[in-house]
Each structure stands twice: as C-alpha cells, then as structure tokens.
Amino acid sequence: MSERIVVNPVTRISGFMEIEAIVEQHKVVDAKVKGLMFRGFELMLKGRDPLDAIYYTERICGICSTAHGLASTIALEQALGVIPTEQGRYLRDFMHGAEFLQNHLRHFYQFVVPDYVKLPGQVCTVFESPFSDMRIPKEKNDLIAQHYFDSLNVSREAHEMIAVLGGKAPHTHGIFVGGATTQATADKIVQLKNMLTDVARFIEEVTIPDVGIIAQYYPEYYHNGQSYGNLLSYGCFDNYPSLGTLYLDPMIAVDGEIRALDKSRITEEIDYSWYTDQLDAYSPMETIPVDDRNKPDAYSFIKSVKSENLPFECGPLARQWLSGAYRHGISTMDRIVARIYEAKKITEILRTLIDNMDLYAASQSEYEIPVSSSGAGLIDTTRGALGHWLKIENQLLSFYQVITPSVWNLSSRANDGRPGTGERALIGAEIQDEENPVELARIIRSFDPCVSCATHVYYPDKAPKFITIVP
C-alpha cells in the first residue's frame, strides 16, 4: 500500500513549487517536483533592443538578478565581438561575488534555518512554527535564532557592495558590455574592503559554527537527498588573462571521473512539461517551445535539461566538489554545508579581485549592434549553471533562450521517463511521519530552488481527507 503526499506550497524558496511523493513503508518510492508559474521571458525578449536584454533579464529573478545581467552581458559580448577588459571583469565579477554572499547568507538563515531551528513566535505571527522535529538544545537554538535576525544586517551589507559599483541591488545597473560602468576609486575601494571584512568575519565566526551545530543534530541528512552524483559547472571567477582561474573552470564529473565540459552537448526535453513544439528535444539555439498549460501527461513549467544525455546537479556543492575543496559526500546536509564553505571561499576571491583593481581603469566605449549575429553566455552563478543564448537579426533580438540552474536541479522527467535531479534526491528518503513530512521540503530546499511553483501538504485532521491511498 502506498500513500501519496503533496506539499503545496513549498515555502521559503524563490517562487512557487509543489512536491508530490509516493511513500511506501516510510520510504519515498517515487516523486515529482512541479513548477507551477510561468512568465515567458524568452517570448518577451524577441524584437527588443539587444542591449536592453541585460536589465530586462535581470528581472527574471530578484534574488540572482546580477547573475542574469552577467550571463546576458557575456552573450552580448560574443554577439558584438567585444572582449571585456580584465579590469572591467574584476569590477563586475566583484558584484557577482557579492551576490553569492548575499544569496548564500539569505538562503541559509532565512530559508534553511527555520527547518531546524525554532524561531521566536512572539516577534510576529509569521514565525510561529508548527514543526515537531526540532532537536537543537534551547541555548544553541536561541543563539542561531538570534543570528537569523543579525544576518539580515550582513546580507544587506553584501547587497550594498553591489550597489557601490552598480548603483542598486537587486536589479543592478553597473554590469555592461565591455566590463562595468563604474571605475575603482580609493573611496569605493576602502568602502568595499570595510564591507567585505564585515561579511567575511560574520561567515567565519558565526555562520560556519551555526551550520556545524545544525549538521551535528541532524546527522541522517548526510545520508538522504542523494542525487545521481553527476556534477556540472560552467565555471566562474575563471580564465582571467593575468590572474588565471580563482575558482574553477567549466567541468563535469560523471561516475566519479572529472573532465572538461563540452558546452555543445547541452539539450532540453519537454515531454513532461507544459510546452509544445515540433521538437521534443533540442539544443539551446534551436527553438523556444510555446507554453501549453493543458498538455496531457505534463506536470510542470520546468523543462528537463541534460548534457551528454545525462542529468546533472549544479550549485555550490558541485563547484566545491569539482574544484577539490569539499568531497565529503552528495546529500542534503552536504549541500547546506558546502554552500557556507563556498561563501568563505568567495570572500577570499573578492579580496584578490579588489587587491588587483587599478584606480580609474575604464572599460566602456560606444557599441554598434551588428545586423545579424549570435552569442552564448554560460556562467556559474549562486545556484549553479546559468546559460543565456541569443540571436540578433536586423539589429534586434530575434531569439533568446535561458536555462537556469534550477532547471538543472529541478528538471521534470526526461523524455525517457528518468526523474529529474531533485526528484531523484527525494526517492529513497525516509519519511518519519507521513502526516508531517518535513523531510521532503528540507531535501529540496538544500538545492536552493529558484522557481515559481506551488505545492500542498495533505493533513488527515482536515476535511476533505488529504492522504490519498494508491492501491
């Protein structure tokens, strides 16, 4: 006998998602991760001025807007034949790194911590938590709960680093073709160094101990949430002409073997998502499927993406593993821990970038839009591998494809029926109490989902009866 459990909404993620799991004898035997929101940026971008794509695509995500601006800029540079200056790259990569810090801190404290730490419900109603599996002793619990609020000042400061160079965050302005629009000045440098020092100290002295406490009291989370084990990165903070690679180059791991990424072997599939097209599998530059909410057998707005015909996991754990910095395991807790270790690594990279900035180095000029061209911008961002592919015809965008990290991690089923990476991570998980299946969303949250989806939990004490018995 199996039970069907549905969680909707999965809260504390960006966007809206549903998890559906089939559970037999306290074990997940099948799972679906459903993205239930759609805006259609790829359709909107067609016909727009190519340079406007930078700010327009930032609006895909208020959390990782800088990442989209950067991917779009890299794609445009390829299309326009512009090589960014190394100094310009330092400035925009500094902004991108500051976004990593802001994102990782917000994800850990605001999204992950409430799964394991009881927040003070007397502050306001939103923090009244119903979870029963709260194991951390009161003194330590309350310390981390205090850090939940303290961290907001630190993540705010990380966003301020973006604004110093880019005018504002989210939806920053400073990243542009050629590099960045601002130049390093002594007043900005000392301001940024001060901010970076504050953030780095908090990560080392507060966040790393906090994640250690959570890991200590929830040891089985080192054993659930295992994915296929294939890891992928487009590379980031890499290939500087004079500094070389500060983090990692584009690479993958398949069956334990690490090798270079072949960017030409990325494909998307749509049999199980709400889109239709003449092709049901295609490479990024081939086609943009059209949304179809009523398509039979489909269950998600998230497509399925593969490389070399294989599913992959991307994100901080993949990068930490591929770069050799962290190889403890592939699990829920490893993802959470690796994200925090990566935050520390990013503070070191940013320190290197700022130490190499030249005062007043400018990177801008007047740009001419070609009549016809194309470009791809593939870069690893906060949550993993982000790709923008574009074509220009008659000096306007004629095609725009975006594949986000969350499509890699939260793919719907592939056309051959194989579950997506996040779905695979749910399968095999032990569910202690089917009426309060906290494990499901804890596992999925470890990927830091950025989707617009929706989900529901069925509770047996409410009418109508919520647990569906599948014969």
Ranges within 429-448 binding other proteins (CB under 8 A): 441
Amino acid in the structure at residue 240: Y
Residues 25 to 44: which contact other proteins by CB under 8 A? 36-40, 43-44
Q: Tokens 């000045």 belong to which residue?
A: 185
When binding is defined by CB under 8 A, the residue of 24, 25, 62, 204 that contacts other proteins is 62
Question: What's the closest the beta carbon of residue 145 comes to other proteins, in angstroms?
Answer: 11
- Dist CA 380 CA 232 (whole Å): 9
Angle value at C-alpha 340, between 339 and 344, nearest 5 degrees: 115
- Residue 93 interacts with other proteins (CB under 8 A)? no
Judged by beta carbon, residue 62 or residue 81, the one nearer other proteins is: 62
- Residue 61 interacts with other proteins (CB under 8 A)? yes
Question: What's the closest the beta carbon of residue 45 comes to other proteins, in angstroms?
Answer: 8
Q: Which two tokens stand for residue 37?
A: 């929101």
Count of Cβ atoms closer than 10 Å to residue 255 Cβ: 8
When binding is defined by CB under 8 A, the residue of 131, 216, 262, 430 that contacts other proteins is 131
Reference 137, options 111, 120, 108, 117; nearest CA is 117
- Dist CA 220 CA 213 (whole Å): 14
- For residue 65, with 0-12 CB atoms within 10 Å meaning exposed, 13-18 middle and 19 or more buried, which class applies? buried
- Residue 454 interacts with other proteins (CB under 8 A)? yes
- Residue 250 interacts with other proteins (CB under 8 A)? no
CB 402 within 8 A of CB 387: yes
In the sheet with 231-233, reading across from the earlier edge strand, the strands are 231-233, 251-254, 257-260
- Residue 419 interacts with other proteins (CB under 8 A)? no
When binding is defined by CB under 8 A, the residue of 24, 25, 29, 48 that contacts other proteins is 48
> Would you give the distance in Å from CA 326 to the centre of its chain?
19
Residues 189 to 208: which contact other proteins by CB under 8 A? 191
Name the maximum alpha-carbon separation found in the chain. 70
Residues 274 to 313: which contact other proteins by CB under 8 A? 291, 293-294
Residues 100 to 119: which contact other proteins by CB under 8 A? 106, 110-111, 114-115, 119
Judged by beta carbon, residue 13 or residue 407, the one nearer other proteins is: 13
Angle value at C-alpha 64, between 60 and 65, nearest 5 degrees: 55
- Dist CA 401 CA 389 (whole Å): 5
Question: What's the closest the beta carbon of residue 71 comes to other proteins, in angstroms?
Answer: 15
Question: What's the closest the beta carbon of residue 32 comes to other proteins, in angstroms?
Answer: 14
Question: What's the closest the beta carbon of residue 247 comes to other proteins, in angstroms?
Answer: 24
Question: What's the closest the beta carbon of residue 159 comes to other proteins, in angstroms?
Answer: 5
When binding is defined by CB under 8 A, the residue of 84, 97, 170, 405 that contacts other proteins is 170
Question: What's the closest the beta carbon of residue 173 comes to other proteins, in angstroms?
Answer: 4
- Residue 217 interacts with other proteins (CB under 8 A)? no
